[in-house]
C-alpha cells in the first residue's frame, strides 16, 4: 500500500511543479498594441484590449499558482496520512496497545 501512495505523491509533486511552470510562462506573456491610427477611436480600443487581455492572463497565472499550492498541500496531507497509517501498522505488528 505504501508503494501505491508513494507513486501518487511523486505524481502530485510533478503536477505541482508543472502548474507552477505554466504560471511562470503565462506571466511572461506581454501584449503590446501595435495599432497606429491617430485620432481614431480604434487607437484607444487597441490599448484597452491589450490591458484586458493582460489582466485575463494574470488571472490565469494566478489560478495556476493556486492549483500548484493546493497540490503541494495535498502532498503534505497524503504524506501525513501515509506516515500515520505506517505508524499504526508498526504498532499493530509489534503488539503495542492502541490508545
pLDDT in tens, 51-82: 999 999 999 999 999 999 999 988 888 877 77
CA distance 15 to 12: 5
On whether the CB atoms of residues 71 and 12 are closer than 8 A, the answer is yes
pLDDT in tens, 29-56: 998 877 787 888 787 888 888 899 999 9
Q: What pLDDT sits at residue 18?
A: 97
CA distance 85 to 77: 12
Domain range annotation of the chain: 2-94
Amino acid at each position: 500500500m505504501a508503494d501505491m501512495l508513494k507513486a501518487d505523491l511523486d505524481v502530485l509533486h510533478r503536477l505541482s511543479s508543472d502548474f507552477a511552470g505554466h504560471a511562470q510562462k503565462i506571466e511572461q506573456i506581454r501584449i503590446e498594441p501595435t495599432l497606429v491610427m491617430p485620432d481614431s477611436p480604434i487607437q484607444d480600443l487597441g490599448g484597452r484590449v491589450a490591458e484586458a487581455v493582460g489582466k485575463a492572463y494574470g488571472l490565469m497565472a494566478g489560478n495556476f499558482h493556486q492549483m500548484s499550492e493546493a497540490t503541494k498541500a495535498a502532498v503534505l496531507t497524503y504524506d501525513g496520512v501515509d506516515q500515520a497509517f505506517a505508524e499504526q501498522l508498526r504498532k499493530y505488528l509489534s503488539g503495542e496497545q492502541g490508545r
